[in-house]
Structures are given as structure tokens and as C-alpha cells.
Chains A and B, each alone.
Chain A
Amino acid sequence: MGGQLTYLGVPLARPRVGFFELTSCEGCQLQLLNNEATLLDFLNLVEIVNFREGMSERGDNYDIAFVEGSVTRQDEIARLTEIRKNAKVLVALGSCACFGGVNQLKNRFRDLDWVKKEVYGDFPIESMEVHPLADFVQVDLEIYGCPIKKEEVERIVTDLVVGNTVRHPEYPVCMECKANENICLFELGELCLGPVTRAGCDAWCTSNRRGCWGCRGPATVANLKQLEEIMHTYGFDRETILDRLECFGGFASFADTLRDKGKKTPTGRKNP
């Protein structure tokens, strides 16, 4: 590996990158190692100085910091602030970092002590309400998805290295799904958030006949009112829709509105 990297004949600097994880499953980082076919090319593009899950060496002299996971404990705020100080560019990697991800499902409960007791009984355990990174530091770039799509990450990193503007699709997953010539899942009786979720995953789930759960958050123009009508037409109840909308945190404000409208909410939920 190594050697001078050029783009259109112009020499490029290999940025030093670090990977970090807060509260998460570390799956998004592993997605990078999961890219066997292009892994060695990808490693040639950057210089990895910090990747605890993959290597023993650790450095703080990174240009780009990829941070996976959400903030759920006080000490993570300090770690995140330190990473922000060291990095020129801070990238929120995956839905937990961008929106809180599945972790924020615990925020549904008004009583955090109940949440702790449900899992740990009387054993004291430290935890706070789940937050995305942007609640504490400036985030320069968000990479959506649970999990992230490795092809998309490689494209974004390549854009960063060669100095291209990073652009996310503004349209919803539905467009990609149609382009893939799939049968509409609503026609098969499946609930799907494809009409409102931001594209970029190439309709990953729906192409496998699994309805979209909205892990990438809302498209730039997401007609949520229309979605509610579609769901109503196909006979899905509010609770089922809510299960989807609140799963990853990207649709939090809409889920809150919908929840407020609802009458049937199980005990423990916020705003019962």
C-alpha cells in the first residue's frame, strides 16, 4: 500500500482518519471491514490512525473523525468533545450518531428509573436520555443508515479526499425502489416508510421484500401527511405506523405528533 495518490494527475494528501464509537453495536465500523472486495483500495485512500476495534496503535492526530453511536452517559460527552477538538471534520456514522438510532427507543418512557430497574433491578447503573451527536458538538457530515451502506461511505470518503461536495439524495427510497422495478410492498400488504425516507441505500430492504423502517430519516421533502393517508387506505393502525416511525429517531417530531393524537398507548409510554 502507499505511494503517491493522484486524482486527474493532481497529487492528493491521504487524510488521517480515526474511528470512534459511543453507545452502539459497532456494526457500522464493521461494515467497513465487511467490504472485502475493495477494502485494500479503501485503505490506500486514507491513513487510519485510530481504529480500536481493528488495531492496537492509537493516535490523536486525525483529520477526519468517524463517530458511531449515540450519547447515553456523561463520560461520552467529554470523549466526544475531545474528538471534536482534534478533528478537522467530524462525521456522524450511522443512525445512532445521526438521530439516536434504536437506542432512543428508551426515551419513549417518561421514567428513566423504571427503564433501569426493568433491566438491572436494584443494581445502580449510570445512564441518561439518549442523544444524537449534534446535541453536543458541531457535526460536519452525517452518514445515515442502520447499518450504513459501505458503498455510500466509500463514495463519501472519496469525495472528502478529492475535495468534492458531499451530496445526499433529496428524494425518498420509493424512487430507488421503483427504479429497481420492485412490486410495491403496500400491494403485498406490507407496511413501508419508503415514500418518506431519504434515499441513498438503493432500496436495500424493500428490494428484499422487507418494508422500510425509516432508518435513514426523512427525505428532504417528506410528505408525512400523505403517508398517513396511504397507511389509512391500506388499513394500518396508528400503533403499527408509530412502531416504524419511532424506531430510529429520524422521524421523532412526527412520531411525537402522531403519538399525541393516539388514544391507545401502553403503560410507561411518554404522553399516555
Chain B
Amino acid sequence: MKLSCEVDIHHLTRVEGHGNIRISIKNGVVKKAQWEVVETPRFFEAMLVGKHWENAPYICGRICGICSIGHTLASIRAVENAFGITPTPQTANLRLLLKHMETLQSHILHLYFLAAPDFLGAGSVLPLAKSHPEVVQRALRLKLLANEACDIIGGRRLHPTRTVVGGFTMLPEKEQLKEIRRRLLASVPDLLASAELFKTFVIPDFSRETEFVSLKGDTDYPFIGGDLVSSDGVVKKEEQYRAMTNEYCTKCFTSKLSKLSRPSFAVGALARLNNNFALLHPTAREISKSLGLTPVSHNPYMSNVAQLVECVQVVLDSVRLIDTLLGNPWQEPRQPVQAKKGAGVGAVEVPRGILYHYYKFDKDGRVAKADCVIPTSQNHANILHDLEALAGQYAKTGKKDREIELLAEMLVRAYDPCISCSVH
């Protein structure tokens, strides 16, 4: 039996951004299991200094090419909290609907284009277009629906145009919302088929006890604002986010890292679901159970399943939001904004986990200090510790290099890392 293994992956594929995996096992003993982040930093927090408040959401949305809507909404929330602005119910509902559609788009992208090829034995989605055309068509249908809904509500699927401090520059037509509602209901069979597909996937058998951090839902499964909670029992207010993230720098990472009660913690779909399972829509909860996912799951590969459950959650909740919006006459899209000296935090659950934006403004509404804490940077240390445990679990099993390499790649991909985001 072969008990030594060398894995050296430079710039892991099918993830956003640049990261390396290095594993070295000698005679059944793990010598090294490393996750490295080599992405070039962009310095958004410095860029903003001296800029007028209006710039913050516009520039910070550009931290990410996948969840630009989430960044924009977190940034807007931080500015509004600093200025003491409360969004109108209409704005809050539209923002949540927009957020849901981004979550659907991002999760489908990850599940079908980035994760599924591993389970189906392909290098990318391209050969699947030939071998599993119905699977690819289904993914494209769901993604198209989500993206077109983002266009209609946010003005644009990437780097949204209509989302501003105070509300929206423009509202969708009610007829457009009715059409989205019709398509959302029509997408349910595609979601059920997705669940059936994932039931056929063999989820690697690996668990490591982990602390999970997310927003704490009150009456609804949480996405925008509220208290912060960890599965180890820590509860903090939104504005105390620093006590929850405890960022630090270390070698092999151009991103910052985070810790809380243990050397690392996890954020993302699995953390949200573990911490707020009871608040899921009953249908989403049933699908979760049917896929073998009940809280608390400590298997990071189950993040894929959690994302799928959340797709069901956001689709069903979007129908509810549209019904509320359609049941009321349109109000003014945008409320006036009065800048003032102060600071604000915006915490938003974006597809990869909890995201925080913080700004401090001077009396003219110019940024004096900015801080953004990204989900993937909070996950990096946990990915590292998972990789160590994974290597340890398989060190004595005599698996081939390629098998361990694939398990390691799949582990990192399960976190759906957004590495350039984490090194903003």
C-alpha cells in the first residue's frame, strides 16, 4: 500500500481567484497540509479614504464579480446606518428580493458550473453540455431567471445600477414582477430535479467539529442585518462585528484571516442553515432532510447541499415578497439623504457567508475610515484546518495522489471561495 503522497496545486481551478493547495504525506504521516492565498491585493479600504459617501457603494460593489449586489447592499446599509436612515418597507422588500436573486444566481453557478463537474467526473461544465445536456440546460434556465430578475430589479446583474443610498433610482414595472413570479413558480420542478441530481452524488465522508457564524434570524431566515450568532453560543450586535471577526494577518495569505472561540470558524450556506434551520420554509426544510442535511452538520462538503436548500428557500420567499410588493401601490423609490458625521456597519449574508462593511464619515460625509470583512477571508483558516484534518484522515488509507488531490480540491470548492473578494 502506498502511504506517501504529494499534492501541489498552483492556482486551483473552478474557484474565483488565486489559491494554492500543498499536501505532503510521508509514510502515513502528514508533513504538510497548506492552503495558500496568493491573490494580489487591491486596497479598497484605502481607495475610499477622502471620497464622498455616494462613492462607497458604487466603488465597493466592485470588490466582487459574483456577489456585487451583496457588496452594494452591505455598503448601502452601512452608509444608511451611519446617517440614521431606515429603508421604507418597499425598499427593504425590493432589496431582499434582489438579494435572493443574486443568491440563486451565485449558488446555481457554483453548484452546476464549479462543483458538479467533480461529482460527474468532468473537468468542466463544457463536456457536460454533451454528456448531460438536460443538466446543463436546467442550470442555464435557473441562472437566466435569476440574472434577468436582477436586471429588472437592480438594473444590472453585475455591478447593479439602480441600487442607491435611500432606495432605488427606478422601480420595476408591476407586470415585470408578475412575470418573475410566474417564472419562479415554474422553476420549482427544476429545483426538485436539482435535488434529485444531488441525491445521486457521493458526498465525501468527512467531518470536523466547527464553529459556525451567521446572522441570527428572528422570525425569518436571515439575509440582511440583525444580530450575529455563533454555534458556540456567542451573540453580538451588528455594530460589534469586530468582536465576531478578530482579523489577523499571517504568512502564506495575502488575505486577512479570522477566528472566534476556536482557531477558526466557518461562514456560508452551511453556517446559515445550521444556525437557522427552524426558520427555513417548510418545503426547503423537507428537501434538506431528504438530502440528509439536518443541523448541526460538521461536514464541509455538505455546503453544496446547503446551497441547494437555500435555492429553494430564496425562490419560495421571493414569491412571498413579490406578493407583498404587488399588494401595495408603488411609493417613491428613493428617500432624501442627509449626510452627517458618524459611523455605520452593514452586515449582509451574501452567497458565501456573512459580509460586513463599516464606514466612518466626517461632517461633510467623506470617508475617514473604511473596513470590509469578507466571507471567504473568514473561511480561509477553516479551510486550512479542514485540509489538515482531511490529509490526516486519509494519510494511512493508501489512496492514490490523484484521489487525495481531488478530495482536497472538492473541499476547497465546497466553500465556494471568492478569493479576490477576500483580498480586496
Interface residues of chain A, those whose CB is within 8 Å of chain B, are 1, 22-31, 33-34, 36-37, 39-40, 43, 48, 51-58, 72-73, 76, 101-103, 105-106, 108-109, 114-116, 118-121, 123, 125, 127, 146-147, 204-205, 208-210, 213, 239-240, 243, 247, 265-269
Contacts and interface: CB of A to CB of B under 8 A. Distances in A.
B310 to A, nearest CB: 20
Nearest to A106: B43
26 contacts: A1-B129, A26-B420, A27-B68, A34-B157, A36-B141, A39-B140, A48-B126, A53-B15, A53-B16, A56-B124, A114-B46, A115-B46, A116-B43, A118-B49, A119-B43, A120-B249, A123-B249, A208-B162, A210-B155, A210-B161, A240-B52, A243-B54, A247-B59, A266-B366, A268-B49, A269-B50
Contacts of B43: 106, 115-116, 118-119, 127
Contact of A27 (B46, B144, B158, B169): B158
B143 interface: yes
Contacts of B49: 118, 266, 268
B62 A25 contact: yes
Given A54-B125, A118-B46, A210-B155, A25 B58 contact: no
Contacts of A209: 162, 169-170
B407 to A, nearest CB: 15
B46 A106 contact: yes
B46 A25 contact: no
Given A119-B41, A205-B156, A208-B155, 5 more contacts: A25-B420, A26-B17, A26-B65, A123-B249, A210-B161
Given A27-B64, A266-B366, A76 B40 contact: yes
- Nearest 7 pairs between A and B by C-beta? A27-B65, A55-B124, A266-B50, A208-B155, A123-B249, A56-B123, A25-B65
Interface residues of B, number: 60
Given A37-B144, A56-B124, A204 B161 contact: yes
A201 to B, nearest CB: 10
B66 interface: yes
A29 B65 contact: yes
Given A209-B162, A268-B50, A204 B156 contact: yes
A269 B366 CA distance: 14
A245 B16 CA distance: 29
A106 to B, nearest CB: 5
A209 B256 CA distance: 37
B320 interface: no
Nearest to B117: A56
B77 to A, nearest CB: 19
A36 B249 contact: no
A51 B117 CA distance: 15
